[in-house]
Amino acid sequence: MTTIPACPDHDHRCCDVSGMQPPEPMVRILEALDTLGPDESLRVLIDREPFPLYNILARNGYRHRTAALPDLRYEVMIWLDPAS
C-alpha cells in the first residue's frame, strides 16, 4: 500500500470511513479531530477525495496531505498546524 508520511514526531490514529454514505464520513472525521492531541495525527481512509473537508481543516488550524491509493481510496493525513 502506498502511504504518505505523517507529520514528523507524531503518533497517528486511523479513521476508516470507506463505504460510508455522506454525511457519515465527515461526521466521523470531525469527531476524531475533536479528540486529536497536539502530538497526534489522524490517518483517514476514504472512498473519494474529501474536498469540503479541506476548507474546514484550514479554518480550524489543521494541515493535511492527501494521496490516492492503488485500491481507489484516498489516504488523508491530518495534524494540528503548530503555527496556528
Domains of the chain: 11-80 (3.30.110.40)
Interior angle at CA 76, CA 16 and CA 78, nearest 5:
105
**Mean confidence (pLDDT) of the chain:** 89
Where residue 1 falls among pLDDT bands split at 50, 70, 90?
very low
Distance (Å, whole) CA 55 – CA 69: 22
How confident is the model at residue 9, as a pLDDT? Answer: 53
Q: What is the pLDDT of residues 61-74, one digit of tens each?
A: 999 999 999 999 99
How confident is the model at residue 69, as a pLDDT? Answer: 96
Q: What is the pLDDT of residues 45-59, one digit of tens each?
A: 999 999 999 999 999
What is the pLDDT averaged over residues 21-50?
95
Contact at 8 Å (CB) between 47 and 68? no
- Whole-angstrom Cα Rg for the chain: 12
Distance (Å, whole) CA 81 – CA 58: 9
Residue showing cell 473519494? 48
Does residue 10 surpass a pLDDT of 70?
no
